[in-house]
Structure 1
Amino acid sequence: MGARGLVDAPHDASTADRAATSNQGARQSRTSYADPTASPPHNPRRVLVLSADIGGGHNATADAIEEAVRRRWRGSEIKRLDTLDVMGRGIGRLFRRIYVSNVETTPWLYEFFYASLWRHRWFAHASKRFTGSWAGRRLIGPINEFDPDLIISTYPFGSAGVAWLRRHRALTVPAAAYVSDFAPHPFWAYHELDANFVMHEGAEAVARAAEPGSSAAVCAPPVTAAFHPGEATTARAAIGARPDAFVVVVACGSLAFGDTTETVRAVLDASLEVQVIALCGRNEPTLAVLQDLALPAERLLALGWVEDMPPVYQAADLVITNAGGATALEALATGVPVLMYSPIAAHGIANAELMVVAGLADLVITQQQLTAYVRSVLSHPYRLDDLRLKASVHVETHSLDETLDAIAAPAAHQAATQQPTSRRPWPMRPSDAFFAYAGNSGTDQVLGAVLELDPLPTGQSPTLEEVRRAMAARVSLPPLRRLLVRDPRPGWRRADRVDVAQHIDELVMSAAVSDAEMADAIGEFWSTPLPDDRPAWRMRLFHGQSDGRSVLAVQEHHCQGDGISALGLLDRLLDADPDDPLRERRPARAAGKSGQGGARLLVRGIWSLATRGRPPRHPLNALPTGAGRTLVRVAFPAADLRRVARAHGASSQEAIVGIAADALGRVLRERELVDDTKPLRAMVPIAMRLPKLDRLFGNWTGTVTIDLPIDAMPTGQRIAAVQAQLRDRIRRGEPQGAEAVMRVAGHLGQPVHRLFARTVYNRRFLSTIVSFMPAWPGPRWCAGARVAATYPVVPLTDGVPVTIGAIVADQVTGVALLLDRTLEIAPDSAKRALEAAIADAQRSAG
């Protein structure tokens, strides 16, 4: 398992306080979830919005989504990404230039491309796969960095990228697209997404035709709440419009496509009663031309970019536009009739036609028709009533909030993601494949944690069905859906379906079960290899004790991830307080990376590893392994660990390694497995994780090796010896060197990589493994039961019969020894040794 390097856990309440409030906290948590005014437990804490600055419609839709998220899920964190900028430097500027050029200069080419997407299914398929691969690969880093619970796209390339990640990287975060045009086209809809939200019932069939098998649903116009019907007199006074005029807003999007000047002239020719408000957006040349007309404000108000748009629509009697995007949707939400005039090529024409069919807009093509239309509605104002009525009914029938609830609901998302996908696996990263090669029948590389659960408020332990139900709501998490493929090379494939009943079972034990019996029972669970026919994880609930306490063992294959990844996944499987900001899901500060210190540090690290050589064979590693496991657990206050570290000028990791050395020395001396001439060499993982790396999946650690001081000595002297070695190895660049060597080995071909893994990750180069990780600072619950302590399980490897790990979670330090049964060490004896080492360390801190 990995570690976060030399990082201390944050200070909070003592363990005594935690124990005193344990049952009360669990009861409060269950009550808050049942409270109808509280946020339901599946509410997204982090929402990623994918948009693009190409026209104003995509960002306007993103604004509406973000506002709805804040309104619906208070406290949620929102991040918006410009998909084009993510796709590469200068890509946004290039695509904007192409888009403007096509619409204004070569509309025939734009129309040809748009029509080809509909006419040739293979062309649409190839185009979407190409852009999806491009955007998807570039989105991996930002998505891993932000770690969202929900992804919403308002731009087609963003939707394509998420769909690609669903197919090829088992992305199972709930995801949906909001179509910011009235008429969807083939680039808008994707069957891999949970939902594709369109603007009208008539657009549902179009979306399904654009992408067969896609889930299409109708939503309210995705505009901010400020766009609603208002008092025209007040709005006109606010923007300087005539109170007695027939006000026509000419708005052709943020780029003001089309001949705005001729449109304004045609409208003004209809009557002197007309006042035109021309919105030029960011099109400064058009604004200058209109201002040069020198028309009085009573007839023409020419405006550039307007920040506060709702009063402009509320002041209008009619909105004229030519695209059918955000402008039309904002007008509909405000209750203003829409007239489509000379729509732009491709999507503009499609939007206009569908809006007319839906009865939400009228359409004219020529200037003469435009002038005649305005005169007609001036003479017969009731002709606009039908447009107003249909727009009002459409807006009131649908809700933006309901669509957010729909895509965030775990049951709906699970059903949406359990669909057949590509059977083609994708390869593992070298550092992940290393652990697929390193395991064998006796030492399968399986890591995880053991959770000690307090009783429920009823005094009982959670039932198996309660645990399964809690985990079923989270089964969409990527590590729970990835199926390990071993041949012809280690890789992953997304499992179409995950049955929690196959992954979670229970062992009901006697009422008076002893610690030793529990240690053997948990060890037996860790002795059984993971099945290859399902995703590489499982859980077992151990319960039946008279005090209502229970234990939940959670394991996954090491090639799924290191200790930090396992903790990230575990945190997502547990419940936090509704108001917990989950700061611990932020990436840990890396102890170092290959680039720090430049190439010199990397070379020094590799040289240091190469010159250390293999240690003499320790008596501990002369024994055969593979006879089964025993797990020994001890918990003590995290405040005590910090006190010990401060007393000796060390980090919490250095203090834990010192305590581990003391405990191992006591155990091995009892078994007469100590040789003063042969050092006990320990591998200590050091986190190399960077902010953009996946925190739920993958191995991102370097390592250092030190000789543990296991002889009898004062605690301060032992910790000082550990500290000197750790800091020296880190200063020499050993973590960077180990990471680089593992990465290079993965590119030398499968046989070499397998040989490398099985040569270096065994008794030849290490005697034991000692790992330390800080986890979540606040309380966590599982199926309503508060987690009293969390213990890491560090896997054994060939010829390495004992490992030790420690986790600081909720102000409790959980320490666990995993022992191979060939050592013939009684669990009670190992526990006494570990408790004695902890007690000595506590006393040394006064």
Structure 2
Amino acid sequence: MDLLNPLDAIFLAVESREHPMHVGGLQIFEPPADAGPEFTRDLYEAMVSADEVRTRFRRKPSRGLLGGFSSVAWDHAGEVDLRYHLRRSALPAPGGVPELLDLTARLHGQLLDRHRPLWEARLIEGLDDGRFAVYIKIHHALIDGVSAMRLLQRTFTDDPFDTRLRVPWAMSAPGGDHPAAESSWQQARSALPRIITTARAAVGPLRGVLDGRLELPMSAPPTMFNVPIGGARRIAVRSWPLERINAIRHATGATINDVVLAMSSAALRTYLIEHDGLPDAPLIAMVPVNIRHVDAESDGNMVAACLCNLGTDIADPLARLRTISASMRNAKQIFTQLPQIEAMALSALLMAPLGVSLVPGFDALPRMPFNLVISNVPGPRKPVYFQGARLDSNHPLSIPFESQAMNITLTTNGDNLDFGIVGCRRTVPDLDRLPGHLEDGLAELEKAIA
């Protein structure tokens, strides 16, 4: 039995039918040129035969004294039924992207079984253009987006002729990922000094909040996204060439992430205008920033929560981009100057109001902690392959929270940026229009620098 760190424990504790707390991804592959009609069937059989399952993929919530599931400790499954965790699915005709996204949305809205290790995957066939897809989801208490992408990248190769099978559940973290040798009581005793240190660390970062350099939680205006949500999901995806984003970056001095946030701001502004819901005050996005050391690999979540002014109240695209750049620059300056433990403490402080909104009786806050999460997760920077099949697109799919009905996440994939947009099916209509609005936001920036 292993103890969870406090942030991971929260991800387990707040999960409900309305709030599935897993992250996922949808990868679409082009089979090798010489692939026969049984390629995906053979691939599936090879994958379920890879029965060396590492520690992370054996973890499930421990059972408490009264028989319920605990949110503070992991148990480890002795046997993992891979034919349960990895299944085959086929799309109905015509087998296009809409059918693929409909299936993925249904899978992404379903809770993971807490009696089993908290992950599942699907090998999806039947696309009308001959490609196939893989959807995988893992509980956020087990992994964050950066760790998930690093793990996924280790299953790929840049050699199209390398057909050695690498599956996520058989990949160990650098240095190993063995269960802790200490008992739970010993872990608790050793964790106490870290908890006290974290509490003390929370005092110092308050200076960064109070001196006005950070966007404050509870300063976001209410929007149609900031309402109670259900568990069903809608999904939209699209990819853009990095060269288009880089052209704007070079012309303006902004970062790639600034340009992505400006695209998102323009899309949200247009969407809200269409639904008569654009507030006078600017939307605030929570932008996760990885605070691991460069080569570090660890279980659990290690991200800082930067709050960014999206400038949705500004009509001019370049002025909006400048506002976003300044907001992110100020937030990063605060976090990069802090020791890792203080950065996490400040993140917890900024995220605290969102946790309060999940407590019964506190579901009607006067202002929102932030309006949505927009996350940019590093991915492979060159073409990669899996069993000789080329990865065409890799769309990360994350979590809409209570009162946070939409999430935008993207990742690098060779020369492209692949976006995955997830929304509450009940409260976010016309989600499939968001990719078009993102394109319009990019195009107006290109026009402004021309």
TM range (shorter): 0.7 to 0.9
Shift of 1:563: 0.9
Q: Which whole-Å deviations, capped at 9, do the CAs of 1:665-700 have from their partners, x for residues lacking one?
A: 222222222121x432210101111246425x3100
1:440: which partner in 2? Answer: 16
Over 3 Å counting, the alpha-carbon distance change for 1:437 and 1:627 in structure 2 is closer
Q: Unaligned 5+ residue runs, structure 1?
A: 1-424, 588-593, 746-751
Higher relative contact order (CA 8 A, sep 6+): 2
- The residue identity in structure 1 corresponding to 2:329 is R
1:544: which partner in 2? Answer: 126
Shift of 1:768: 0.4
| Residue 683 (structure 1) aligned with residue 265 (structure 2) | no
2 CA distance for matches of 1:681 and 1:754? 13
Shift of 1:621: 3.7
Q: Which whole-Å deviations, capped at 9, do the CAs of 1:224-256 have from their partners, x for residues lacking one?
A: xxxxxxxxxxxxxxxxxxxxxxxxxxxxxxxxx
Shift of 1:566: 0.8
Give runs of aligned pairs for residues 660-809 of structure 1, distance below 5 A: 660-676=264-280, 678-691=281-294, 693-695=296-298, 697-711=299-313, 713-733=315-335, 739-741=344-346, 758=358, 764-809=368-413
Shift of 1:497: 1.9
1 CA distance for matches of 2:354 and 2:217? 20
1 CA distance for matches of 2:243 and 2:44? 31
Give runs of aligned pairs for residues 288-687 of structure 1, distance below 5 A: 425-458=1-34, 462-467=39-44, 469-470=46-47, 472-473=49-50, 475-485=52-62, 487-577=69-159, 602-605=205-208, 607=210, 612-615=216-219, 617-676=221-280, 678-687=281-290
Over 3 Å counting, the alpha-carbon distance change for 1:845 and 1:794 in structure 2 is farther
Equivalences, count: 402
Answer 1 or 2: which has greater strand percent.
Answer: 2
Over 3 Å counting, the alpha-carbon distance change for 1:842 and 1:617 in structure 2 is closer
The answer (yes or no) to whether the contact 2:205–2:343 under 8 Å persists in 1 is: no
The answer (yes or no) to whether the contact 1:561–1:699 under 8 Å persists in 2 is: yes
Shift of 1:484: 3.0
SS of the equivalent of 2:128 reads coil
Q: Which whole-Å deviations, capped at 9, do the CAs of 1:512-543 have from their partners, x for residues lacking one?
A: 23433332221111110111121111112332
Q: Which whole-Å deviations, capped at 9, do the CAs of 1:755-775 have from their partners, x for residues lacking one?
A: 669469998412100000221
The answer (yes or no) to whether the contact 1:659–1:838 under 8 Å persists in 2 is: yes
1 CA distance for matches of 2:218 and 2:345? 19
Q: Unaligned 5+ residue runs, structure 2?
A: 64-68, 163-172, 176-196
Give runs of aligned pairs for residues 96-135 of structure 1, distance below 5 A: none
Give runs of aligned pairs for residues 810-829 of structure 1, distance below 5 A: 810-829=414-433
1 CA distance for matches of 2:160 and 2:90? 32
1 CA distance for matches of 2:313 and 2:131? 37
SS of the equivalent of 1:560 reads coil
Shift of 1:573: 3.1
Give runs of aligned pairs for residues 24-39 of structure 1, distance below 5 A: none
Shift of 1:586: 9.2
The answer (yes or no) to whether the contact 2:287–2:306 under 8 Å persists in 1 is: yes
2 CA distance for matches of 1:686 and 1:844? 28
1:300: which partner in 2? Answer: none
Over 3 Å counting, the alpha-carbon distance change for 1:524 and 1:792 in structure 2 is same
SS of the equivalent of 1:732 reads helix
Shift of 1:452: 1.5
Shift of 1:547: 1.2
SS of the equivalent of 1:673 reads coil
CA RMSD of aligned residues (A): 3.6
The answer (yes or no) to whether the contact 2:202–2:349 under 8 Å persists in 1 is: no
Over 3 Å counting, the alpha-carbon distance change for 1:680 and 1:666 in structure 2 is same
Give runs of aligned pairs for residues 187-226 of structure 1, distance below 5 A: none
How does the TM-score come out when normalised to structure 2? 0.78
Shift of 1:807: 0.4
Give runs of aligned pairs for residues 82-93 of structure 1, distance below 5 A: none
Shift of 1:819: 1.3
Over 3 Å counting, the alpha-carbon distance change for 1:735 and 1:563 in structure 2 is farther
Shift of 1:707: 2.6
Shift of 1:735: 9.3
Shift of 1:817: 1.1
Shift of 1:504: 1.4
The answer (yes or no) to whether the contact 2:286–2:306 under 8 Å persists in 1 is: yes
- The residue identity in structure 1 corresponding to 2:304 is G
The answer (yes or no) to whether the contact 1:431–1:742 under 8 Å persists in 2 is: no
Identity of aligned residues (%): 21
The answer (yes or no) to whether the contact 2:408–2:421 under 8 Å persists in 1 is: yes
The answer (yes or no) to whether the contact 2:87–2:123 under 8 Å persists in 1 is: yes
1 CA distance for matches of 2:119 and 2:144? 14
1 CA distance for matches of 2:448 and 2:116? 48
Over 3 Å counting, the alpha-carbon distance change for 1:578 and 1:607 in structure 2 is farther
The answer (yes or no) to whether the contact 1:470–1:783 under 8 Å persists in 2 is: no
2 CA distance for matches of 1:688 and 1:788? 29
2 CA distance for matches of 1:548 and 1:725? 44
SS of the equivalent of 1:823 reads coil
2 CA distance for matches of 1:499 and 1:624? 35
Shift of 1:792: 1.2
2 CA distance for matches of 1:683 and 1:754? 11
SS of the equivalent of 1:573 reads coil
The answer (yes or no) to whether the contact 2:282–2:309 under 8 Å persists in 1 is: yes
Give runs of aligned pairs for residues 45-60 of structure 1, distance below 5 A: none
Over 3 Å counting, the alpha-carbon distance change for 1:661 and 1:434 in structure 2 is same
- The residue identity in structure 2 corresponding to 1:731 is Q
Shift of 1:601: 6.5
Q: Which whole-Å deviations, capped at 9, do the CAs of 1:308-347 have from their partners, x for residues lacking one?
A: xxxxxxxxxxxxxxxxxxxxxxxxxxxxxxxxxxxxxxxx
1:831: which partner in 2? Answer: 435
Over 3 Å counting, the alpha-carbon distance change for 1:480 and 1:843 in structure 2 is farther
The answer (yes or no) to whether the contact 2:221–2:279 under 8 Å persists in 1 is: no
Q: Which whole-Å deviations, capped at 9, do the CAs of 1:632-654 have from their partners, x for residues lacking one?
A: 11111122222222222011111
Shift of 1:811: 2.0
Over 3 Å counting, the alpha-carbon distance change for 1:806 and 1:755 in structure 2 is closer
The answer (yes or no) to whether the contact 2:202–2:346 under 8 Å persists in 1 is: no
Q: Which whole-Å deviations, capped at 9, do the CAs of 1:140-177 have from their partners, x for residues lacking one?
A: xxxxxxxxxxxxxxxxxxxxxxxxxxxxxxxxxxxxxx
Q: Which whole-Å deviations, capped at 9, do the CAs of 1:54-89 have from their partners, x for residues lacking one?
A: xxxxxxxxxxxxxxxxxxxxxxxxxxxxxxxxxxxx
Over 3 Å counting, the alpha-carbon distance change for 1:636 and 1:474 in structure 2 is farther
Shift of 1:622: 4.7
1 CA distance for matches of 2:276 and 2:315? 18
2 CA distance for matches of 1:531 and 1:525? 13
Moved more, 638-647 or 810-819: 638-647
2 CA distance for matches of 1:813 and 1:667? 21
Over 3 Å counting, the alpha-carbon distance change for 1:673 and 1:518 in structure 2 is farther
- The residue identity in structure 2 corresponding to 1:525 is L
